[in-house]
Amino acid sequence: RALRGGRSSGGAGSGGGAAMDLFGDLRRMNKRQLYYQVLNFAMIVSSALMIWKGLIVVTGSESPIVVVLSGSMEPAFHRGDLLFLTNFHDDPIRAGEIVVFKVEGRDIPIVHRVIKVHEKGNGNIKFLTKGDNNEVDDRGLYKEGQNWLEKKDVVGRARGFLPYVGMVTIIMNDYPKFKYALLAVMGAYVLLKRES
Amino acid sequence: LRKNVEDFTGPRERSDLGFVTFDITADILNGKMSIFDWNVKQLFLYLSAEYSTKNNALNQVVLWDKIMLRGDNPRLSLKDMKSKYFFFDDGNGLKGNRNITLTLSWNVVPNAGILPLVTGSGHVSVPFPDTYETTKSY
C-alpha cells in the first residue's frame, strides 16, 4: 500500500479542490505519520524556545528583545521598533545610556535615557531617567515616594535596534483575533506539511 | 572642542544646586569624515558633568542635550548656554568642589543596527566656589 505518492484527484471537484485535498491528506495519514508530524512540530517549538533561552543567558537580560511601546523616545525610536538589550553585571550604568527598566510592581518595561547617576564607592548605584521626547524626568513614573532607580530595576541596556519589526507584536496584542488566526494558520501548515 | 564656564552654587532644600553657563564649539566627526553616513539617522548630544563627592564616589549629571538630525550641520557653535536641567547634587558635594569635568558625548542612532555611545575628545574642568550665593541672579 503506498503511503505517499502523487496526489490523485480523488473525486473532488475543481471548486474548493485545495481544501478538500488537505482534508483528504489528513484522513489518509495513518497514526504513525500523525505522530511524526506532531513531533516535527514539537521540535520546531522546542528549538525556538531554546534559542530564546540561549539569548537570555548570553545577554544576561531576562528579556533580550523588547518592542518600543510609546513615543517617549522619538525621534530616535518609534512605537513598533525592536530593541536588543544586554545586561552584563559588570557594565556600569552611565549618563546617556538608554536603559530598559521596570518600575516595581508594574509589568510594562520602559525605555528611557539615564540623565543622572550617583554611585557610591561600594558599587551602590542610583540613577534617574527621562524620555528624550518628554519634558520632565521619570520621577512621576516611579513608585510612590521613589526618587531613584537601582540596578535591580534594570532589564537591560539598549545596544542595537531594528525599526518597524516589532509592529507585528503590537498588532497581535491589540487585535487578539489576528494572533489566533496567525497561530491557526501556522499550526495547520506545520501539521499538514508533507515532505515529498 | 572647547567649553568655557562661569558658575555659582545655591542651596535648595538640603542639596547643592549648581548653575553653569557654557559655550560649546564642536565638530562632530567620525574619524576624518562627517559623522552622518548612510546609516546614521540622528545624534543625541548631551553635556554631562562628572565629579566625586564625599557622599558618592562617582556622580554624573546631564546638564544639556540636543537632538541633531541627519542633514543638520555637524558643527556646533553655541554661546552663553544655560543648563537645561537642574544640576542638583545628591547631598552637599558641590560647594568647594574643585574638579567638575564637563564632557560632550553623543549617542549615534542608526537607521538600523548598533547604538554606540561616543565621548568627544576634549573636556573642561571647572571648580565651584566655596560659598553659596544667596541671591538668585540666574
Is B39 within 8 Å of chain A by CB? no
> Which of A75, A121, A162 is closest, CB to CB, to B112?
A162
The HSE-up count of residue B137 (CA atoms within 13 Å, CB side) is: 7
Residue found under cell 502523487: A6
Mean pLDDT of chain B: 77
Answer whether A98 sits within 8 Å of B114, measured CB to CB: no
Mean pLDDT of chain A: 82
> Which of B56, B105, B113 is closest, CB to CB, to A120?
B56
pLDDT score for B138: 46
* Grid cell at residue A129: 531617567
Number of domains forming the structure of chain B: 1
Predicted confidence (pLDDT) at residue A11 exceeds the cutoff of 50: no
To the nearest whole Å, the CA of A118 is away from the closest chain B CA by: 4
Predicted confidence (pLDDT) at residue A23 exceeds the cutoff of 80: no
Quick one: angle between helices A176-192 and A31-59, nearest 10? 130
pLDDT score for A196: 47
Instruction: Kindly name the residue from A61, A81, A138, A153 that is annotated as catalytic.
Output: A138
**Range of the structural domain that residue B104 is part of:** 16-126
> Could you report the per-residue pLDDT of B48-93, keeping only the tens digit for each?
888 888 888 889 989 888 888 887 877 778 877 777 888 888 777 7
Domain ranges for chain A, please list them. 24-59, 65-163, 165-195
At B94, is the pLDDT very low, low, confident or very high (cuts 50, 70, 90)?
Answer: confident
- Name which of A97, A117, A137 to mutate to probe chain B: the one with the most chain B Cβ atoms within 10 A of its Cβ: A117
Residue at B135 is within a domain:
no
At A47, is the pLDDT very low, low, confident or very high (cuts 50, 70, 90)?
Answer: very high
Using CA atoms, how far apart are residues B86 and A143, in angstroms rounded to an integer? 22
pLDDT score for B32: 63
- What CATH number was assigned to the domain covering residues A65-163? 2.10.109.10
Instruction: Kindly name the residue from A61, A72, A81, A153 that is annotated as catalytic.
Output: A72
pLDDT score for A194: 62
Residue at B109 is within a domain:
yes
Residue at B6 is within a domain:
no
Residue at B49 is within a domain:
yes
> Which of A94, A97, A161 is closest, CB to CB, to B112?
A161
Q: Which residues contact A99 (CB under 8 A, 6 or more apart)?
A: A93, A111, A112, A113, A114, A129, A154, A155, A156, A157, A158
Using CA atoms, how far apart are residues A158 and B109, in angstroms rounded to an integer? 11
Using CA atoms, how far apart are residues B130 and B90, in angstroms rounded to an integer? 17
